[in-house]
């Protein structure tokens, strides 16, 4: 199933600050990734925008609240809304994260890590199969950025994802920035992570920037891609045979042209020899700690679209 999915080229996250420019100028970009939750409940402008964008560009739906790893029951209302949106915009695929967002009916709005155990693998595998049956398409799951590891974990993330993909037929979204963030925080080697990753199941690659705090790294998506991450991309691009690649920029979002220029740097890393890795990775930020997996961009500029008439 996932082998039949298209190679879309280089895409950007669809963000509300760029809506007007995209609709007015239809800039040259291969495809857009839309955050599912930003559009699935919308009866207003976001829904109209995604419908129009989907008429002119390939679209992928990328979710943050499926909570595939949660111990709670699957949210069937959520899935029904997602399926209805998919029927409208006909995405090339639907993706989410290997994570959970809440239990007991609550939602932390964060992408929380799953203990990597046999119990979790069986649990998540069963849920992936049910979601795929419901949506009638393969689900694509992303490796999250993480700041803790569970003591009870019995396998590493590449093994977990490889077995999950093998058992369910789901595809994988390889976020090379998340690889770097997770490995740095865990004191692990990102190249070894990539060596172990089941690249044959990768449908898509994510790129993003992060905030280096010296002791740890926060996955902030608010700045250009770091050289170390570009090097991981070079490896991932070659090993996945050129998987569809997307740049996420979710905080302090610059102009569309600047986002596009950052994305197009990927072309410089698709061929050629490996660049020497930096001797040491230095902190680049001395300001306040950023937010991991920022979601502020999910709240559209609702409060800007209001005027007042005279009585």
Q: Which residues bind another protein (CB under 8 A)?
A: 37, 41-46, 48, 65, 67, 70-71, 75, 78, 100-110, 112, 114-115, 117, 119-120, 123, 147-153, 184-187, 215-216, 218, 289, 291-296, 298-300, 302-311
Of 11 and 300, which has the nearer Cβ to another protein? 300
Minimum CB separation of residue 174 from another protein in Å reads: 22
Of 42 and 132, which has the nearer Cβ to another protein? 42
Closest C-alpha to 98, from 129, 128, 60? 128
Of 43 and 276, which has the nearer Cβ to another protein? 43
Please report, for residues 5, 10, 67, 105, the alpha-carbon distance to residue 108 in angstroms, rounded to integers and kept in the order given. Answer: 32, 31, 10, 10
Please report, for residues 192, 214, 234, 248, 292, the alpha-carbon distance to residue 110 in angstroms, rounded to integers and kept in the order given. Answer: 27, 23, 29, 16, 8
Of 112 and 140, which has the nearer Cβ to another protein? 112
* Nearest-angstrom CA–CA distance, 231 and 234: 5
Of 44 and 242, which has the nearer Cβ to another protein? 44
Minimum CB separation of residue 218 from another protein in Å reads: 7
CA 264 to chain centre: 18
Of 28 and 104, which has the nearer Cβ to another protein? 104
Q: Are 89 and 61 in contact (CB under 8 A)?
A: yes
Structure tokens at 145: 């950025």
Strand pairing partners for 94?
Answer: 61, 139
Minimum CB separation of residue 227 from another protein in Å reads: 20
Return the sign of the alpha-carbon dihedral for residues 49, 50, 51, 54.
positive
Minimum CB separation of residue 100 from another protein in Å reads: 6
Minimum CB separation of residue 28 from another protein in Å reads: 26
Minimum CB separation of residue 76 from another protein in Å reads: 12
């Amino acid at each position: 199933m996932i082998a039949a999915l298209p190679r879309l080229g280089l895409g950007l996250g669809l963000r509300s600050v760029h809506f007007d420019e995209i609709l007015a100028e239809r800039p040259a970009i291969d495809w857009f990734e839309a955050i599912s939750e930003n559009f699935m409940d919308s009866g207003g402008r976001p829904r109209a925008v995604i419908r129009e964008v989907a008429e002119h560009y390939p679209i992928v739906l990328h979710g943050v609240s499926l909570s595939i790893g949660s111990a709670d029951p699957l949210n069937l209302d959520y899935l029904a809304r997602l399926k209805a949106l998919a029927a409208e915009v006909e995405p090339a695929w639907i993706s989410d994260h290997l994570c959970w967002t809440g239990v007991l009916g609550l939602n932390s709005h964060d992408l929380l890590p799953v203990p990597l155990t046999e119990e979790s693998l069986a649990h998540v595998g069963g849920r992936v199969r049910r979601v795929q049956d419901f949506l009638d398409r393969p689900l694509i799951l992303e490796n999250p950025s993480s700041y803790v590891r569970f003591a009870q974990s019995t396998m590493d993330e590449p093994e977990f994802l490889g077995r999950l993909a093998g058992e369910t037929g789901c595809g994988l979204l390889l976020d090379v920035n998340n690889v770097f963030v997770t490995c740095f925080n865990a004191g692990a080697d990102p190249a070894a992570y990539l060596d172990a990753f089941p690249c044959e199941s990768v449908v898509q690659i994510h790129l993003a920037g992060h905030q280096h705090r010296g002791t740890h790294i926060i996955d902030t998506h608010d700045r250009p891609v770091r050289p170390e991450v570009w090097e991981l991309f070079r490896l991932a691009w070659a090993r996945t045979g050129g998987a569809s690649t997307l740049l996420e920029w979710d905080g302090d979002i610059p102009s569309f042209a600047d986002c596009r220029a950052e994305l197009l740097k990927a072309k410089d890393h698709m061929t050629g020899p490996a660049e020497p890795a930096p001797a040491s990775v230095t902190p680049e930020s001395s300001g306040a700690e950023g937010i991991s997996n920022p979601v502020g961009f999910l709240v559209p500029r609702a409060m800007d679209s209001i005027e007042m008439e005279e009585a």
